[in-house]
């Protein structure tokens, strides 16, 4: 009887027809070289509009089991990761994107750390090759702002590329919230965690699925789903501007009753009104984000819907 532990690869895919063959090839090479484990590969087709699903279903002669989970539509990357975790059978899982920016070869170092007792081994980027200044700057700012505002320390310069132990997988399944921010949730869970540093490569082929709009949306979701500090910052800012308002009122009353320069100061007053109005609108929007999160949570809809579950090389 084979008593080897199983390790699961979890690979979210969205319009990856140009890269999926190379991804599977490199995962196969890494897995067969680490032969003290059994392996399974879970591919989550997140509503792809190209031939990604068709290509996966036509795979032949792969050395271990492949499970294809096909969503009924595009539900999002974080939901795809959770679907993989919900359907994996491994003692540990390695979460990796299909675009090969995160090299599968790092899995060997992750497994070595896992065998030493660490339950989360996350990839930490030291260099991001061929990424533009805006992408690097936004990522740098996001992680540091998130850590400043969050009550839980989230490792800097990390994505979802990581190995997670079965204990962590089972814990994540208990989380009921619909706004999934996996790297934040995994940091919140705790357990023994450690990093493995690596150089992030450019995409092997195709185009990025994270536009500027999606990156901003993801950042807002991460901040509002994982911290109350923005609301407290809004309250604090409100007190500060209220103080300025009272000082301004005292100044206006002084000018009105004790001087002859009643018209003076209108520019400053207008600027103050415009500034305070802008800040109010920003924080009303922030409050709306939190209310929107509550709205979606109370609906209690499923995180994702699997249209088809297809198994290749079942053993």
What is the value of pTM for the model shown?
0.71
First vs last C-alpha separation in the chain: 13
DSSP-derived pairing of the beta strands 38-45 and 158-165: unpaired
- Which region among 71-80, 191-200, 253-262, 293-302 has the lowest average model confidence (pLDDT)? 253-262
* Beta carbons of 95 and 169 less than 8 angstroms apart: no
Weakest-pLDDT range from 10-24, 76-90, 157-171, 290-304: 290-304
Query: Is there a contact between 210 and 203 (Cβ–Cβ < 8 Å)?
Result: no
CB 47 within 8 A of CB 75: yes
Structure confidence by residue, pLDDT tens digits, 233-289: 666 666 666 666 666 666 666 666 666 665 555 556 655 675 666 667 667 766 766
pLDDT value, residue 57: 86
Is there a contact between 86 and 67 (Cβ–Cβ < 8 Å)?
Answer: no
Name the residue among 11, 192, 31, 29 with its Cα closest to residue 114.
192
* Maximum pairwise Cα distance, the chain: 98
From 192, 128, 199, 201, select the one nearest 163 (Cα to Cα): 192
Neighbours of 5 (CB within 10 A): 12
Is 77 exposed, middle or buried, given 0-12, 13-18 or 19+ CB atoms closer than 10 A? buried
């Amino acid at each position: 009887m084979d008593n080897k532990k199983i390790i699961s690869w979890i690979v979210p895919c969205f319009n990856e027809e140009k890269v999926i063959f190379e991804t599977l090839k490199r995962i196969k090479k890494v897995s067969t070289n680490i032969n003290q484990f059994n392996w399974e590969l879970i591919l989550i087709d997140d509503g792809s509009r190209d031939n990604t699903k068709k290509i996966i279903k036509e795979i032949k002669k792969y050395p271990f089991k492949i499970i294809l989970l096909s969503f009924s539509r595009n539900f999002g990357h974080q939901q795809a990761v959770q679907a993989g975790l919900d359907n994996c059978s491994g003692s540990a899982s390695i979460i990796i994107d299909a675009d090969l920016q995160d090299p599968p070869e790092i899995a060997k170092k992750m497994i070595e750390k896992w065998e030493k007792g660490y339950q989360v081994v996350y990839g930490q980027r030291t260099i991001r090759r061929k990424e533009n200044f805006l992408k690097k700057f936004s990522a740098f700012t996001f992680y540091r702002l998130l850590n400043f505002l969050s009550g839980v320390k989230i490792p800097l310069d990390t994505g979802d590329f990581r190995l997670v132990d079965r204990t962590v997988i089972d814990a994540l399944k208990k989380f009921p919230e619909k706004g999934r921010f996996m790297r934040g949730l995994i940091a919140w869970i705790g357990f023994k965690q450690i990093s493995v540093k690596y150089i992030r490569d450019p995409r092997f082929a195709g185009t990025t699925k994270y536009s500027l709009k999606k990156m901003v949306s993801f950042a807002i979701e991460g901040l509002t789903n994982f911290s109350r500090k923005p609301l407290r910052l809004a309250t604090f800012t409100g007190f500060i501007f209220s103080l300025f308002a009272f000082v301004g009122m005292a100044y206006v009353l002084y000018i009105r009753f004790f001087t002859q320069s009643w018209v003076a100061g209108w520019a400053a007053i207008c600027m103050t009104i415009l500034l305070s109005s802008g800040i109010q609108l920003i924080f009303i929007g922030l409050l709306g984000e939190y209310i929107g999160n509550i709205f979606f949570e109370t609906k209690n809809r499923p995180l994702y819907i699997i249209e088809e579950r297809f198994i290749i090389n079942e053993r």
